[in-house]
A and B are shown apart, each in its own frame.
Chain A
Amino acid sequence: MKGFEAPDFMAMDGLLTPEERAAGATVRSWVEERFLPVIEEHNRAGTFPMELVPEVAKLGVFGANMSGYGCAGMSNVAYGLIMQELERGDSGLRSFASVQGALCMYPILTFGTDAQREKWLPAMVRGEKIGCFGLTEPDFGSDPGGMRSRARRSGKGYVLNGTKMWITNGSVADVAVVWARTEEGPVRGFLVERGTPGYSARDIKGKFSMRASVTSELVLDNVEIPEENLLPGTEGLRSALMCLNQARYSIAWGAIGAAMACYDTALRYAGSRIVFDKPVAGYQLVQQKLVWMITEISKAQLLVLQLGRLKDDGRARPDQVSMGKMNNVHIALEIARMARDILGANGIIDEYPVARHLCNLETVKTYEGTHDIHTLVIGEAITGLGAYR
């Protein structure tokens, strides 16, 4: 049977540079040949394929849109296409890469010292060190400003106390970027290394979604860290939101990958499944669904392409990133639901990737800023009136 080809109804390919096309193509081949054959098994077992991390690193995925320290230095559009291909594999794979790059390497590069960069970035590009990002707390998600985590000055540095929740890569991370409120008031970022006394990570079990991804709770119980582990450039919650903005950008692209996988599966299935005396693709109600899917995918592609170009130009506003994340995850989830419908009973088993993507996207819709919060970000941008509280 013909292999997967990324749908490109509006011939967007022609708007890409040769490097951007090549970046998407190389990651697509890798996902197809190396990741897809093992994902269902990992999803069933509830494990992330850590054994593939060296291969992802060798491709140069981690921090691919950053420069220096061994990073590939690609455009944000190329990076977006890479994220799309990873999430075509699984949202867990894209999340791993987003957290490593956008939420850990990015703050070290942006807010860190030369020593911190030298220590962590080259090893993180090579996948030898894994990072995570601790902002959300059990009682504070959409309102991180209410966080209870505290950083208290002590002679040699800081003492951290608090709990962080829903932390991707938490228990496998060598370093955590932890956000805590200082005695002076502002929230700042700190590097907490695995093995530091008082610091522990516990995996969250029983997930229906993001099964092939490590999700943990981080506990900080009088964790003493030296002064040099403060990210000196961090200035309040604003710095944490800058990291999230990077990650949200990668989600806006990634969601299209999951949507493409569902659309592709549904289209093939509809073409070969005979009901009464013809393929289900030949019935109007099914065509309506398939057409809605490809139309929304095409619109989503053009949205993030422009978002990427703005970002490459240094002009992408956070509310524009919000629109990308809000819209693309929303349509991806709707597409996954429709694909599941088209597959009938086959839509619920893991012989097809649809239910896995569908469940994953339920997470993607509410993490990194819920759909509703992004709606309010855009609402505030156009009306000038904040409606968060």
Chain B
Amino acid sequence: MKIIVILKQVPDSETKIKVKGDGSGIETDGIKYVISPYDEYAVEEALKLKEKAGGDSTVTVVSAGPDRTVESIRTALAMGADAAVHVNDPALEGADSLGVARALAKAIQDNGFDIIFAGKQGIDQDNSQVPSAVAELLDIPQVNIIAKFEITEDKSKATVSRRIEGGEETIETSLPALFGCEKGLNEPRYASLPGIMKAKKKPVKTVDLAGLGLDAGEVGAAGSHVKILKWIPLPERQAGKILQGMETAEASKELVRLLREEAKVI
């Protein structure tokens, strides 16, 4: 089976994000980048499927991003993926979800695929659009936010579960299909030290938009339908107020008054 994982490199969730003074983006100096955590579930599910499917199954990571993305790609290879395609084109900087999806879809098509796993969303901009758009462009079914995955013996169908309000939804789909992975689907393995050494020798193919036969003017930032106008930092948190030196009854009364009149939340 040709198993594909769509991977995005994002700032570590513990990085303190600072918006640039002119609101055109974020300060990238000193940011630590990691694999988007939901994509780790995608990598793990792909590796588990490869181990189960056996034979000449391969896991190929497909990722779009600048040079630094290679480090996250290598981490996925160290976890056990076999090869990668890195779409690296400056024109993609600032491209919208559809543009990125077009580039990824073309790279996946050129590589060939039987099944595709992605994180349910990237944890940076949280759009959750790219996986669905890639599935549309490849004209295959997609189920997003899956928490369980099973495949039939003949690998023609998959049964997946989604958590929904108050229960669980079980969906069967034909393959090929794309699945967006949710937390709880599996426990992603750690990249092992021998795995890190092996990953150095695994093939990472770098392509730009022209190499994919795509027009940077259409797919890249220049052709974006969505434009981010301004980045605004969250307002500084105001200092709290502590009610001191009052009896409980009196303090409660004062608290209610403040919540109603000052904070205006009740």
Q: Measuring CB to CB, which residues of chain A are less than 8 angstroms from any residue of chain B?
A: 2-3, 5, 18-19, 21-23, 25-27, 29-30, 58-61, 64, 70-74, 78, 82
Contacts and interface: CB of A to CB of B under 8 A. Distances in A.
Contacts of B194: 60, 70-73
Contacts of B197: 19, 72-74
Interface in B184-232: 190-197, 200
B193 A60 contact: yes
Contacts of A74: 193, 196-197
Given A22-B75, A22-B191, A3 B14 contact: yes
B78 interface: yes
Contacts of A22: 71, 74-75, 78, 191, 196
Contact of A58 (B14, B192, B196): B192
Interface residues of B, number: 16
B14 A59 contact: no
A19 B190 contact: no
B166 to A, nearest CB: 31
A26 B71 contact: no
Interface in B85-126: none
A2 B15 CA distance: 9
A72 B193 contact: yes
A26 B191 contact: yes
Contacts of A61: 193
Given A22-B74, A26-B190, A5 B14 contact: yes
The 8 lowest CB-CB distance pairs between A and B, nearest first, are: A60-B193, A72-B193, A72-B194, A60-B192, A26-B191, A60-B194, A22-B196, A64-B193
Interface of B is mostly: helix
A74 B193 CA distance: 8
23 contacts: A5-B14, A18-B74, A19-B200, A22-B71, A22-B74, A22-B191, A22-B196, A23-B193, A25-B75, A26-B78, A26-B190, A26-B191, A26-B196, A30-B190, A59-B192, A59-B193, A60-B192, A60-B194, A60-B195, A70-B194, A72-B194, A73-B194, A74-B196
Contacts of A70: 194
Q: Which of B32, B192, B195 has the most CB of A within 10 A?
A: B192
Interface string B54-92: 000000000000000011001100100000000000000
Nearest to A63: B193
Nearest to B192: A60
A18 B69 CA distance: 12
Interface in B14-66: 14, 32
Contacts of B191: 22, 26
Contacts of A25: 75
Contacts of A23: 193, 196
Contacts of A2: 14
Contacts of A58: 190, 192
Nearest to B79: A26
A59 B196 contact: no
Nearest to A30: B190
A59 B195 CA distance: 9
Given A3-B14, A5-B14, A21 B71 contact: yes
A22 B70 CA distance: 12
A75 B189 CA distance: 23
A26 B193 CA distance: 8
A27 B195 CA distance: 13
Nearest to A82: B193
A23 B74 CA distance: 12
A308 B163 CA distance: 50
Nearest to B13: A3
Given A2-B14, A3-B14, A5-B14, A19 B196 contact: yes
A74 B200 CA distance: 12
Given A2-B14, A18-B71, A29 B190 contact: yes
A26 B200 CA distance: 16
B190 A72 contact: no
A103 to B, nearest CB: 19
Given A22-B191, A29-B190, A60-B195, 20 more contacts: A5-B14, A5-B32, A18-B71, A19-B196, A19-B197, A19-B200, A22-B196, A23-B196, A26-B192, A26-B193, A30-B190, A59-B192, A64-B193, A70-B194, A71-B194, A72-B192, A72-B197, A73-B194, A73-B197, A74-B197
Contacts of B192: 26, 58-60, 72
Q: Which of A2, A23, A25, A26 has the most CB of B within 10 A?
A: A26
A22 B197 CA distance: 10
B189 to A, nearest CB: 8
Nearest to B200: A19
Contacts of A78: 193
B14 A72 contact: no
Contacts of B78: 22, 26
A30 B191 CA distance: 10
Contacts of B200: 19
A176 to B, nearest CB: 26
B191 to A, nearest CB: 5
Nearest to A19: B196
A59 B190 contact: yes
A23 B197 CA distance: 9
A26 B194 CA distance: 12
Contacts of B196: 19, 22-23, 26, 72, 74
